[in-house]
Structure 1
Amino acid sequence: MTTPQKTGLTGPEPTATVTVKPLVLRAPQRGEDLHVRVSAPVTGAALPVVLFAHGFGSDLDGYAPLVDHWASRGFVVVQATHLDSKRLGMAADDPRRPRMWRHRVQDMQLILDELGTLEESVPGLAGRADHSRVVAAGHSFGGQTAGILVGLRVKDPHTGTAEDLSDSRIMASIQLATAGKGGDELTPFAHKNLPWLRDQDFSHITAPGLVVAGDADDLPLSTRGPAWTTDPYTLSRGSKSLLTVHGGEHFLGGISGYQAAETTDADPGRVALVQQVTLAYMRHVTGTDHSHWEQAQSVLTNGHPLGRLESK
């Protein structure tokens, strides 16, 4: 439930939704079949699609506050359980571990390849999704996944090369509390345990995008503090917007789940802000409606108690 009286924002009313899980896609190359969850409104046609990538360790059942909000207001939301999920219990010496970041991208591309099959597997959804309007979104590690799909270059720690793994089927991205550039700014812990963060190049991202960052998100991965998570906005090109959540830590008030135990900055107002601004942005960038995005840009100026929205 959103709280317009706190954010000062409005939006479309929710409608009934349907969720089906797990839908299983064969994926022999990853060593595990890909389990997928699809949530969608029960009515409506030409529905835009959101591919959502979870944060490290989560799964297809996470992020209900966002998924429920988006699906009940007109989007088909597709989630997968990536190999890093605690649900799969990957061993520390599993040879796939160093390339988990790349397996995530391949998971998303498989979903795009099989989008029609997934659509037909949800009762009443066949023929109602618009495959030409797909937004990639993700939180934390998932934000990197979404970024790669629109042009973020990650240097493979084994090959030393940074390939273009972008996918033209993605029209825009939303990156929530996502890592910035690597290099000397990484802490020794991050440099050792998260080698896929050592060298990230945002300069090739030209697709439209929204970055959401908490100004209290002081991760133990960078020496720069919360400003590190604004790099996907400041270092990329093209039409970009940045929502800064005041007082927001890594889970931005609790977006990872209802009453999620890992949330240390629980606040319904912050969650409502992220829900409403991300929805308004997706409706805007997919051409569904521009009025709520224009309202957010007007309301969330300097001085708003919950956050600030800026664009370039």
Structure 2
Amino acid sequence: MTNLIGIQTVWLKWALRIFSIGLLPTLTAYPAFGAERIKFNYGLLEESVPISSLETYAKTGKIDNELSGYSQYIDKKQLTQLRKVLLTPIPLNEVEVSQFLYTPIGERLLQRLGKVIQTESRLSGFYAIRAALILSAADQKDFTLLNVLRKFPASAISINLNQSLQIVNALQDLVNQTQSAVALINQQSQQKASNTSTLNTVTVLDLKKPGSFRFLKETIILNDISRLRKFPADIYLPVIQTPRPIIVISHGLGSDRTSFAYLAEHLASYGFVVAVPEHPGSDSKQLQALLAGTADRVTNPRELIDRPLDIKYLLDELTRLSKSNSTFQGRLNLDQVGVLGQSFGGYTALALAGAKINFKQLKADCPALSDTLNVSLLLQCLAINLPNTEYNLSDTRIKAAIAINPVDSSIFGQASLSQIKIPVMIISGSSDTVAPALLEQIQPFTWLTTPNKYLILINGGTHFSTIAESPNASIPVPTEAIGPSPALARRYVKDLSVPFFENYVAQQPSYLPYLSKDYVNKISQQPLPLSLIKSLTSEELQKAF
């Protein structure tokens, strides 16, 4: 039963908390009664437990006779977790939940859940699960997993243990392999370099502290008529009348240009011009439109093309402003440009760096989407709906790229990532459940062939660790999804982005010692220990498994 609750919780969090969106349906087709029992079946064998027993335990901590037979197989800690899972409120309403569950991504998740959680006649639970979630969400004072069980529109919920065990085993395999890969990276990061580090021969700067440049913030509105695309961008300008290198920051799905304002300000204090565009169609306004019922999808597949084109258009506009606008004239160096992005923005950064959409890889991976544990493929596989043609998304003006929690395994794959020629830094969180570290960052790192590549691993970091909460957020990210000490994770991003861009964009080689194991080990702190490696092969990774 712990496996059952765990599976339900994982998918519920993926569907409702990670994406945190939903679509208004009609509820009249569903009867307003709920399940009385949960039946566990494995072939011809079947056992059951009353939902009332779960409810009694959740609310009082008492285990009745019906539940006692199962409780002996669950340790005390797991039982405590079970109570918490059953009673933890879900901060969404029926509009937000249904909005998501009627999108293509939501329906994909329901299809997967429906194989495990079935009706009493052992048919797919697709429609029953959706009805239970929406009906439970309508009771805003009691939207919990326990209430979802109560609202299931059948007299019993049938759990297919064979399917459950397949998912659990696949998940355990992924966890085990990820732990092995993380251990390998941590071990290599602790090894001393064969040559003496130059870090000890220089005055070590505290790069998490602001630099010496004052700066101003200007907001410009860009209007790309050719794409009917109008969007704002914040420009952070150092107060100096000489051309300065430019860094562009691309936010993630459902976020906006404020989510990395802390980093934009930090880089500007070191003399970089920082440009932060907002991508319409995959920003916080898109999620707000979805919740309001004026949009019918998480994002349009076209966003996979438009996001890199937004950056290219922004650089074109900055080129024009540097010649015609007194505020920008003589202050922008368009020959020294770097890009940084997180999640969907990480994809954007790698596309601009030279990775092309890999339709062959997508065709191989996306048919098995209903069986994947990699949530990020739901976003990557949207590209299947794009015309299969050659898209010109790279930009030769960009000299280096940082990708934080990028999604790239299928939309680029080895064939495309190996084509990147510029320096790349990938930042990964070992506890990322949205873009899993092994599948989306560690293994893709082995595919990079550029001689200057860095893999930064934040042990215990999640998909949301480095993102500052936006004042425009539709729904706050739950604390448990953010993980421990996000301030430390953001400090790491400051500590490492400055020397990376100083060295590879601003051409200041004195910062190279800060891109070393010695420096990373020096700034590493609990509860998010930090590791850095500059090389890793597929063979080494397989050997670790």
Pair in the same fold by TM > 0.5: yes
Q: CA deviation at 1:240?
A: 0.7
2:14 paired residue number: none
1:217 paired residue number: 432
Of 209-218 and 32-41, the range deviating more from structure 2: 32-41
2:399 paired residue number: 171
Are 2:474 and 1:275 equivalent residues in the alignment? no
1:310 paired residue number: 533
C-alpha distance in structure 1 between counterparts of 2:426 and 2:416, whole Å: 16
Are 2:73 and 1:73 equivalent residues in the alignment? no
Of 294-303 and 62-71, the range deviating more from structure 2: 294-303
C-alpha distance in structure 2 between counterparts of 1:301 and 1:168, whole Å: 34
Q: CA deviation at 1:86?
A: 2.4
User: Does the 8 Å CA contact 1:10/1:292 hold for their aligned counterparts?
Assistant: no
**TM-score normalized with structure 2 length:** 0.48
Against the structure 1 CA distance between its residues 141 and 166, is the aligned structure 2 distance closer, same or farther, given a 3 Å change threshold? same
**Identical pairs, percent:** 25
User: Does the 8 Å CA contact 2:246/2:274 hold for their aligned counterparts?
Assistant: yes
Structure 2, unaligned runs of 5 or more: 1-203, 360-382, 536-545
2:235 paired residue number: 38
1:226 to 418, 431, 437: 437
Against the structure 1 CA distance between its residues 302 and 164, is the aligned structure 2 distance closer, same or farther, given a 3 Å change threshold? farther
Question: What letter is aligned with 2:224?
Answer: A
Against the structure 1 CA distance between its residues 24 and 303, is the aligned structure 2 distance closer, same or farther, given a 3 Å change threshold? closer
Q: CA deviation at 1:166?
A: 1.4
Match of 2:245, SS state, is: strand
Match of 1:165, SS state, is: coil
Against the structure 1 CA distance between its residues 253 and 208, is the aligned structure 2 distance closer, same or farther, given a 3 Å change threshold? closer
Q: CA deviation at 1:181?
A: 0.7
Are 2:308 and 1:105 equivalent residues in the alignment? yes
Question: What letter is aligned with 2:348?
Answer: T
Against the structure 1 CA distance between its residues 244 and 255, is the aligned structure 2 distance closer, same or farther, given a 3 Å change threshold? farther
C-alpha distance in structure 2 between counterparts of 1:203 and 1:10, whole Å: 34
**TM-score normalized with structure 1 length:** 0.80
Query: Mapping of 1:6-17 within 5 angstroms?
Result: 10-11=206-207, 13-17=211-215
C-alpha distance in structure 2 between counterparts of 1:299 and 1:60, whole Å: 30
Question: What letter is aligned with 2:503?
Answer: H
Match of 1:20, SS state, is: strand
C-alpha distance in structure 2 between counterparts of 1:257 and 1:294, whole Å: 34
C-alpha distance in structure 1 between counterparts of 2:324 and 2:431, whole Å: 41
Against the structure 1 CA distance between its residues 134 and 72, is the aligned structure 2 distance closer, same or farther, given a 3 Å change threshold? same
User: Does the 8 Å CA contact 1:9/1:276 hold for their aligned counterparts?
Assistant: no
Larger Rg: 2
Q: CA deviation at 1:201?
A: 3.0
1:54 paired residue number: 251
User: Does the 8 Å CA contact 2:353/2:400 hold for their aligned counterparts?
Assistant: yes
2:453 paired residue number: 240
Against the structure 1 CA distance between its residues 200 and 164, is the aligned structure 2 distance closer, same or farther, given a 3 Å change threshold? farther
Q: CA deviation at 1:10?
A: 2.0
Structure 1, unaligned runs of 5 or more: 1-7, 183-195
Number of residues paired by the alignment? Answer: 286
C-alpha distance in structure 2 between counterparts of 1:102 and 1:287, whole Å: 28
Of 62-71 and 36-45, the range deviating more from structure 2: 36-45
Question: What letter is aligned with 1:217?
Answer: D
Question: Comparing both structures, which one devotes a greater share of its residues to helix?
Answer: 2
Against the structure 1 CA distance between its residues 67 and 287, is the aligned structure 2 distance closer, same or farther, given a 3 Å change threshold? closer
Against the structure 1 CA distance between its residues 125 and 29, is the aligned structure 2 distance closer, same or farther, given a 3 Å change threshold? closer
Per-residue CA distance 1:24-78 (angstroms, 9 max, x = gap): 2221233331222111211262311011111012223331121111111111111
User: Does the 8 Å CA contact 2:308/2:352 hold for their aligned counterparts?
Assistant: yes
1:205 paired residue number: 420
2:539 paired residue number: none
Are 2:337 and 1:134 equivalent residues in the alignment? yes
Against the structure 1 CA distance between its residues 76 and 105, is the aligned structure 2 distance closer, same or farther, given a 3 Å change threshold? same
Question: What letter is aligned with 1:286?
Answer: V
Q: CA deviation at 1:245?
A: 1.3
Of 229-238 and 278-287, the range deviating more from structure 2: 229-238
Per-residue CA distance 1:4-30 (angstroms, 9 max, x = gap): xxxx86237343211011x12221233
User: Does the 8 Å CA contact 2:347/2:408 hold for their aligned counterparts?
Assistant: no
1:285 to 501, 504, 512: 504
Tell me: higher relative CO, structure 1 or 2? Use CA pairs within 8 A at least 6 residues apart: 1
Q: CA deviation at 1:118?
A: 4.1
Q: CA deviation at 1:232?
A: 4.3
Are 2:239 and 1:20 equivalent residues in the alignment? no
Query: Mapping of 1:259-274 within 5 angstroms?
Result: 261-262=476-477, 264-265=482-483, 266-274=485-493
2:520 paired residue number: 300
C-alpha distance in structure 2 between counterparts of 1:164 and 1:137, whole Å: 19
C-alpha distance in structure 2 between counterparts of 1:121 and 1:138, whole Å: 29
1:82 to 279, 282, 288: 279
Question: What letter is aligned with 1:48?
Answer: P
C-alpha distance in structure 2 between counterparts of 1:67 and 1:10, whole Å: 17
C-alpha distance in structure 2 between counterparts of 1:38 and 1:46, whole Å: 14
Q: CA deviation at 1:87?
A: 2.1
Match of 1:171, SS state, is: strand
Match of 1:55, SS state, is: coil
Q: CA deviation at 1:112?
A: 1.7
Question: What letter is aligned with 1:237?
Answer: T
Q: CA deviation at 1:242?
A: 1.2
RMSD between superposed Cα atoms in Å: 3.0
